Structure 1
Amino acid sequence: MADVKANAEALVPKFKFERQLNQDQAGRRTTLLGSIDSQPALLILERAPFPTSTDYLSSAPLTLRTLKNLGANDIYHWYMATSGGASPNSDSEEDDFSDLKINLIYPCTPKHIAKYSKQAVRYVSETPEIYRDHGRKEVEDVIYRTPFGEDPEEGFLLLPDLNWDRKTLDALHLLGLVERRDIWSLRDLKKKHVPFLRHMKRKFIEATTKVYPDIEADQLKLYVHYQPTYYHFHIHIVHVQLEAGATQAVGKAVGLDSIIETLEVMGGDGEAGMNRLTMCYTLGEESDLWKEVFGPLKKEEKEQQQ
């Protein structure tokens, strides 16, 4: 058994690189073609999970070889960095060997701590009645908005999502923030907004493909979060190759095209809207909505069944 293990471990250092075949998991896994002893070989590299030891975690920020700020917005900052163990080629561009994407929230609040803490998740159904009575519990999290322009009906900002490294196009993730202030979230959308939604979809795609000409329109998908992180209507624009994680999962993301189609077939006049529907989504047990609304409702329902 020891000989088998030793022989297996001796293979990797003999790998001779030919070319990269693929990169996925938002750049965390890469597939290489090469050879070992003149025989073709595939080498698949994937970043291992971060160690959980206190010694490693406490020293990690102090051992960075390089740190480059990508942008900042109020308390949110994001960077590309090279870890202490990395050994970049001196001829390479800095961005080519940055192996860490770092987000910093400073100063953070108890709500940030609760949001990013490991917690159980529930799948809840928000009826129109619950939305009417409790649906705007987190409105106070509104972020900075640009001043009104000449045509606030069409104004918007296109910003990189904090989790995108701004380099890997297959992992592209942008946020389109509309300038108009009368729409808080998906729940405020009505039949009368369909022309606006179609117009903004076209504008966001045009802007994205202009800034990133290597991306074509049919390589983009647009969706809206519910519940959103903050209550100012915004649309996520992502590359179709971006592997679906929690932010694109059912119970979190709702396709913009599906929203438009739902509104178009909905009965009623222009004021009929998404506030009439029951919305189902996942919710962390540390969130205010679970603690103050859905948790008590579940407890009440259990008591009634006893």
Structure 2
Amino acid sequence: MEHEESPEALIPLFKLERVLNQDQNGKRGGPALCLAERAAFPSDEEALTEFHSALVNVKNLGNNDIYRWYMASSRTTETSPPELKLNLIYPCTEKHIKKYSPQEVRMVTETPDIYKNLVRPYMQRMREEGRLNWVFNILEGRAEQDDILLRAKGQSADGQDEEFLLMPDLNWDRKTLSSLHLLAFPTRRDIWSLRDLKKSNIIWLKEMKEKILDATAKLYKTIERDQIKLYVHYQPTYYHFHIHVVHVMCEATATQAVGKAFGLENIISQLECMAGGPDASMAEATLTYHLGTSTDLWTEVFSPLKESTKD
């Protein structure tokens, strides 16, 4: 390459020898590295319309309730391999729009009393509004059965129902192992979130953890157990306890950040260190996490609590 070339002229001169690394997170004269990242999507109506009309090779990967997901290409030839992952929510609600719109984030502290008197009733209301229909469709065999990678059955050493399903997260492209993202869904319905976990669940959690690690390493031969991390969200998007299973190299987005993701091993350790008998639970702990200011939990619970402390 000539050193005097303009920046724009260098890209056409770049000759691809091999792909060194693919990062979903984001020298002239002799060997060169070309790092490719997607630019931000344009927000004007004309550009978005052009983007939509340019989609080709759209392949549906699955659907469940109001959720559908696809792979597609934005290139102009039908033979172009899909490079876009599309998620469609139809019909969507105002809550969906708020979730995916930019919003400020605040740190909140949830005491046992706040959880019991304000947050737990909110969880109950969300469950009663049908937010878990798509989860129950999976658990009851009505949807996504071809996507189930493992259905583990049996009881833990202490006699608790140990059945769970392991399947791809809808945001994973199902090909790039360095961004592996699976979900483990216990079939039992008495645990809504990490708040329902008790000391009596320690053996159940440990045995489920081992099965998840073993199954993931067996399904994906190039991934070893120490390349897998397990965590749960609080607050979760939906109130049926589930475990996120991701490759350690998976892009650490806000959903894996402190204030959102709680490591499963750390939860188990916290339960083991708790005083009290088998019914001692995470409901007795004070938890600090972040919330978007457009969420109902912020507007209905934590914002009013904040304002009340100013009086």
TM-score w.r.t. the length of structure 1 is: 0.87
- The verdict on how the C-alpha distance between 1:116 and 1:5 changes in structure 2, with shifts beyond 3 A counting, is farther
Q: Name the counterpart of 2:216.
A: 208
Q: Name the counterpart of 2:82.
A: 98
* Aligned positions of 1:61-72 closer than 5 A: 61-72=52-63
* Aligned positions of 1:208-247 closer than 5 A: 208-247=216-255
Query: Secondary structure of the residue that 2:72 maps to in structure 1?
Result: strand
Report deviation, 1:166. 0.7
Q: Name the counterpart of 1:60.
A: 51
Q: Name the counterpart of 1:271.
A: 279
Question: 2:104 and 2:4 mapped to 1: Cα distance?
Answer: 39
Q: Name the counterpart of 2:174.
A: 166
Query: Secondary structure of the residue that 1:298 maps to in structure 2?
Result: helix
Query: Secondary structure of the residue that 1:203 maps to in structure 2?
Result: helix
Identify the match of residue 42 of structure 1 among 29, 33, 49: 33
Query: Secondary structure of the residue that 2:22 maps to in structure 1?
Result: strand
Report deviation, 1:46. 1.1
Query: Secondary structure of the residue that 2:173 maps to in structure 1?
Result: coil
Question: 2:60 and 2:220 mapped to 1: Cα distance?
Answer: 21
1:257-300 CA distance string (max 9 Å, x none): 00000000111111111111111111111111111110101111
Q: Name the counterpart of 1:180.
A: 188
Question: Structure 1: 5+ residue runs without aligned partners?
Answer: 30-34
Native 8 Å contact 1:16 1:36 kept in 2: no
Native 8 Å contact 1:164 1:173 kept in 2: yes
Q: What letter corresponds to residue 73 of structure 1 in structure 2?
A: N
Question: 1:188 and 1:264 mapped to 2: Cα distance?
Answer: 15
Report deviation, 1:7. 2.4
Question: 2:211 and 2:154 mapped to 1: Cα distance?
Answer: 17
RMSD: 2.1
Report deviation, 1:6. 5.8
Question: 2:10 and 2:300 mapped to 1: Cα distance?
Answer: 57
Identify the match of residue 132 of structure 2 among 132, 142, 147: 142
Native 8 Å contact 1:11 1:36 kept in 2: no
Question: 1:230 and 1:133 mapped to 2: Cα distance?
Answer: 19
Is 2:23 aligned against 1:24? Answer: yes
Report deviation, 1:204. 1.2
Question: Structure 2: 5+ residue runs without aligned partners?
Answer: 142-152
Report deviation, 1:147. 4.2
Report deviation, 1:210. 2.3
Moved more, 132-141 or 118-127: 132-141
Question: 2:10 and 2:140 mapped to 1: Cα distance?
Answer: 60
Aligned residues: 285
